[in-house]
Amino acid sequence: MHSTKTLKTTGISIILGSCLFMLSFIKVSSYKEIVAEINTIKVPLAGNTFSSLKIENNITDSGIRNWTDIHQTFTTYVRVSKTGNVKVWLHANVPGGKSNIELSIGNHSRRIDLTGAAVKNYYAGEWTIRDTGYIAFQIKGISKTGTAFAAIDSLELAGTPFSGKTSFVPDNEGNFYYWGRRGPSVHLNYPVPEHENIAWFYTEITVPEGNDVLGSYFEADGFGQGYFGMQVNSPDTRHILFSVWSPYDTQNPNDIPDSLKIKLIKKGGGVHAGEFGNEGSGGQSYLNYIWKAGNTYKFLLHCQQQDDDHTVFTAYFYAPEKRKWLLIASFSRPRTHAYLNGLYSFLENFDPQQGAVKRMAYYGNQWICTDKGQWVELNKALFTTDNTGNKGYRMDYAGGVKEGRFYLQNCGFFNHYTLNRTVLVRQSTGVKPDIDFTDLP
């Protein structure tokens, strides 16, 4: 039998106890003061909310703004580690007229009347949360007499679920309203044999059907000086992207001295080449190629020392639809006299409006080849996440092994996650890539 305890606060009876077996909606009397509640958190909508429609300037650093479309809904996500009763207030105002909106958790909803330009807390109701993990708070417009439904800054949440560990973006320090909505990136870091000169790095990627989500970068061959993989850039644009960082530390490629610029040596047919910034700076190349979910694509990276102060990095992409290797580009990097190092793969979402959509990919058959022509299989990887995951702002990230391949998964607010720095081991295939280096373009 579960014990209960009743507290009396300003005409409200709060029942503390175990949760019901299923999610249930509970009617409560009107609230007086949020400060009378224990275990209260404030969730800014700016970094934790997603819109059902892709409309510009609806989710700002201040929260929901310019909300006029009755067909548009907003969903805010908070992860909890405890169950129990949850009370919800909306910190909001109505620019003009009166509005009625609906807030739902699961299949249970409560409608709230809002009026007045003054920002205040509107009580929505109380719900019982049975499961730990992510709670989705959905906000929907019902009616309005003015031009906009409401301007909503945050959700005020109170209850036992918030007495334990919670996960959400609490503020915009470090521009985390942006990074939080992008979601956590996940990586596979490959240990390599010591004292070997790695000249080639080979990887395969398969994106299952339905996982080629807009804004995804499925990166295959990452190394100490750059990265190489495939992206979903728009509904009708996909890139095979290869970038090399300049040794000059800047976010603006125009600041790089000529002596430290990345130089293009050659590029394949149809490949665009130029410079990039904002995430370091350097040389960038991409091929517009409509790769298909469900197909397996091969990536090959080559490193060759050009002279005592320059190293050339070359990327090749195998398109099964064309049944041949394609040259993406070859870049010369100054102040570099080294072989391949720091090998990794990753999965990221680069579109903040797509951070609520789950995606995953298989990363398999990783091999390196030394400068002496010896192939070595890489069947181990260290799983890691980025600062968004490390800070606990987002916990929807995972990695593991399925069907003999590594996999990475992120975004979508799924409940399971993989511990950061988990060591993953896949079964070795023992079958090295069948590549004649002399036949490459």
Q: Specify the CATH number for the domain of residue 54.
A: 2.60.120.260
Together in a domain, 325 and 390: yes
Together in a domain, 48 and 80: yes
Q: Which domain holds residue 24?
A: 5-168
Together in a domain, 211 and 82: no
Together in a domain, 143 and 104: yes
Q: Residue 391: what pLDDT?
A: 98
Strand order through the sheet with 226-234: 271-276, 282-288, 237-245, 226-234, 216-222, 344-349, 186-189, 380-385, 422-425
Given a contact cutoff of 8 angstroms between Cβ atoms, the answer to whether 15 and 6 are in contact is yes
Final residue before a domain boundary, out of 140, 168, 196: 168
- Among the residue ranges 57-66, 109-118, 256-265, 412-421, the one predicted with the least confidence is 256-265
Final residue before a domain boundary, out of 168, 191, 206: 168
CA–CA separation, 190 and 188 (whole Å): 6
Number of folded domains that form the chain: 2
- Among the residue ranges 18-32, 35-49, 65-79, 290-304, the one predicted with the least confidence is 18-32
240 inside domain: yes
Final residue before a domain boundary, out of 141, 168, 195: 168
pLDDT per position as a tens digit, 324-381: 999 999 999 999 988 999 999 999 999 999 999 999 999 999 999 999 999 999 999 9
**What is each CA distance from 68 to 65, 89, 91, 113, 151, in whole angstroms?**
9, 21, 18, 16, 10
Together in a domain, 405 and 277: yes
216 inside domain: yes
Q: Residue 37: what pLDDT?
A: 58
Q: What is the pTM for the complete model shown? A: 0.89
177 inside domain: no
Together in a domain, 53 and 189: no
Q: Residue 4: what pLDDT?
A: 33
- Banded model confidence at residue 417, pLDDT cuts 50, 70, 90: very high
pLDDT per position as a tens digit, 88-126: 999 999 999 999 999 999 999 999 999 999 999 999 999
Q: Residue 27: what pLDDT?
A: 36
Together in a domain, 189 and 85: no
> Which tokens sit at 191?
């240990």
pLDDT at residue 16 tops 60: no
174 inside domain: no
pLDDT at residue 43 tops 90: yes
Q: Residue 20: what pLDDT?
A: 31
